[in-house]
Amino acid sequence: MVKQVRQERAIRTRNALIESAAALFARHGYEVVSLSTISARAGVSNGALHFHFPSKAALAEAVGVAAAQRFGRIIAGEALPAQRGGVPERGGVPERGGFAERGGFARHEGASAYGGSSRYEGAPERGASLRRIEAPRRWDVPRRDEAASKQGAASRQNSALQTLIDTSHALLRGLGHDAVLRAGFALGDGAEAVGRGEDLYRRWQEWVTEVLARAEREGLLARDLAVRDAVTAVVGATIGFAVLGGHEGQWLSRTTLTRFWTLLLPRLATPTALEGLMASGRPPETR
């Protein structure tokens, strides 16, 4: 029993250090954060930190591994713990001065971002406020056999394109709530890279490429559209929204991403494939 209690305490301490390091790396950058600052934020001693992590590089590696695991859950369609119920992690709203202002991911306080509401924003009408919440956007299905139309729409909602839409929303939602995920992207990016962990930018690009290739095999993409061009648009936009979100919170909102999909999907998909797609993403519980 005593051994089990110690093991559980050690796990809690290790996780607290990873969360603390991630939040500080995401806000200030890897190079300037000290181990003493990390341990103080986690509420543990320097000795406890060194028991778990012999160096800052080892701690950064652990952050990278945790971020890669959370990213893997996103692309697998699983909700992150901090996203269930819309409750951000402690300190989940990035503070001003975060590394997003240097090219990474963050959002300012007061941003219109993903919360815990069960309502999903649709595509705003022309001239509508970006913060307006509407019903999920679907493209109108022609009035033919109603049962067949519903069956076809349901099938398309489980298509590669709908998966791509849903996952892009989940990624931005995760980046808005999860410091570990944000730090994982930062630690593998350019000047912030520490040579450990996965390159999550590249992993996202590879995943988008795979899903769009599947959409092409399913006959969902417009005939005159090259997969590589679609990948460029989707990856560039999603990463760009996240970076811009560090300066203006609206870029990380569900409405902004819904507007993007509303604009892109008619060019990306065939008219038949477009029917039934939800640009605002499906609620996680319905996937």
Share of the chain above pLDDT 90, in %: 54
> What b/e sequence results for 211-248 when a residue is b if at least 16 CB atoms lie within 10 Å of its CB, and e otherwise?
bbbbbbeeebbbeebeeeebbebbbebbbebbbbbbee
Of 46-50, 137-141, 170-174, the one with minimum mean pLDDT is: 137-141
The model's pTM is 0.76
pLDDT at 190: 55
pLDDT at 155: 52
Provide DSSP, 9-32.
Answer: HHHHHHHHHHHHHHHHHHHH-TTT
Give the CATH number for residue 195: 1.10.357.10
Residues 57-77 pLDDT 10s: 999 999 999 999 999 999 999
- In this predicted structure, the answer to whether residue 287 has a pLDDT above a threshold of 90 is no
pLDDT at 248: 76
pLDDT at 158: 79
d(CA 32, CA 35): 10
- Residue of 89 and 208 predicted with greater confidence: 208
**Averaged pLDDT, 36-65:** 96
Torsion sign (Cα): 75, 76, 78, 81: negative
d(CA 237, CA 19): 28
pLDDT at 48: 95
pLDDT at 86: 37
- In this predicted structure, the answer to whether residue 120 has a pLDDT above a threshold of 70 is no
pLDDT at 110: 36
d(CA 46, CA 210): 44
- In this predicted structure, the answer to whether residue 236 has a pLDDT above a threshold of 80 is yes
Cα dist. 68→30, 192, 204 in Å?
17, 16, 11
pLDDT at 53: 97
pLDDT at 212: 98
**For residue 195, what pLDDT band results from cuts at 50, 70 and 90?**
low
Helix (H, G, I), strand (E, B) or coil at 242: helix
What's the per-residue H, E or C state across 91-126? CCCCCCCCHHHHCCCCCCCCCCCCCCCCCCCCCCCC
Q: How many domains are there within the chain?
A: 1
Tokens at residue 78, please? 């699983």
Give the dihedral of Cα atoms 270, 273, 275, 276; nearest 10 deg: -150
d(CA 26, CA 95): 10
Q: Are 22 and 182 in contact (CB under 8 A)?
A: yes
Of 18-22, 53-57, 187-191, the one with minimum mean pLDDT is: 187-191
- In this predicted structure, the answer to whether residue 81 has a pLDDT above a threshold of 90 is no
Q: Which domain holds residue 172?
A: 1-287
Q: Are 251 and 175 in contact (CB under 8 A)?
A: no
Selection from 18, 37, 26 nearest residue 242 by Cα? 26
Residues 249-275 pLDDT 10s: 788 889 999 999 999 999 999 999 999
- In this predicted structure, the answer to whether residue 95 has a pLDDT above a threshold of 70 is no
pLDDT at 132: 39
* E-only strand ranges, the chain: none
d(CA 49, CA 24): 15
